[in-house]
Structure 1
Amino acid sequence: MAYFAKIEKQTDPFDDSNEDYWVVTNVVAISNDTPLAVGKLGDHTGHVQGEDYCRKLFKTGTWKQTSYNTRRGTHYQSDGTISEDQSLALRANYAGIGKIYNPAKDVFIDAQPFASWSLSAQNVWTGPIAYPTVTTYISDDGLSTERVYRIRWNEAGQKWTAVKTDPPQDFKTSLDSVHEKDNNPQGTVDWNPATFAWDAV
């Protein structure tokens, strides 16, 4: 199968700038056995023939071929191992709906998640502070259970923030004896890039 993304130019779909973006609005799969004017789709090493085929088939739009097994500029086999033939790594990333086509780089990328994030050499958005290296903790449940932090980027504070994921705990309010659920008994923690540790807030 070969995959093709329909892209449409949209003005300012994500922020308050006046920039135009090529946004992926549809992705279709076409059989490599599809007959073309000359041979079959799978006979052509380039992607122009398939893109022209989609344009004629759907009678509208701009189409770009995309690779289902390409992520961050690397092509992978179906079993998850890296392919020996990296010429198959087409346009940096698979073009899911909502992704952006960058014509200057001829790649597909995610929409910029935050204004402070920049595009890496691998065409992936990265924050001004590296992602935390500590993603789990030992629970205070008496069983020493390893649990995962729920991590998110705090754009206003320019920092990584997390909450622990222990199950809700029962407690009694100070006003009455009705049992309620404390969904975050440990509170929030902030990542400290200087010490590579989480600090309680």
Structure 2
Amino acid sequence: MHDATRDSTPDSTPGSTPVGEVALDVTETAEALARYRSRAGMWFRVGLTTAAGGVVVELANTARRLEWADLVAEGMGGLALAPLLIGLSALRLARLMRLRLAAHPWTAVRAETAPHGPHAAAVILHDPSGGAPVALTLVGLQGRHHAADPRPTGELWWCGDPATGGVLARPGGAELIWARTPGRLTRDRILGAGDSR
């Protein structure tokens, strides 16, 4: 796969070379990572605030034990769980992305999407030097999977290690999504789905 070099200008052809010695040198990428981390922090704060509100309602209700207040406190505790988990997971992914983006250059590769179950998305990266294709599954809310859609150019930017995962972006590096290497059976199924299209 072609590594990025400083001061090169990417074009739209597969196998082209993006900008920067490491991916975090690309201004759009650094800004995208900051936005991602900010959204993750927002989700976490929403969950924390909702949970704290439930605790306050419960503490305020200790003397009178009103049934409706107990229901409100329990409901707020339940509502807090989803944004807390989303926020914590996204903060973890932001940290992993930052480590990869600060250590590796962007690599422009030919790519295609592959069907992978009703709720998951997968991408196949093709090494321009003729190496074996790499199957990756996307990690993130389904609404963010468009960040790894190689259409219309058939190209994605990749930063990472196919064995342990990394970051994908459409050319320009302005929106990021984490991708991981699946197990052997899933990997074979994804590669087979790509071949059969």
Q: Which has the higher contact order (CA 8 A, sep 6+)?
A: 2
TM-score by length of 2: 0.23
- The structure that is helix-richer by fraction is 2
Rg bigger for which structure?
Answer: 1
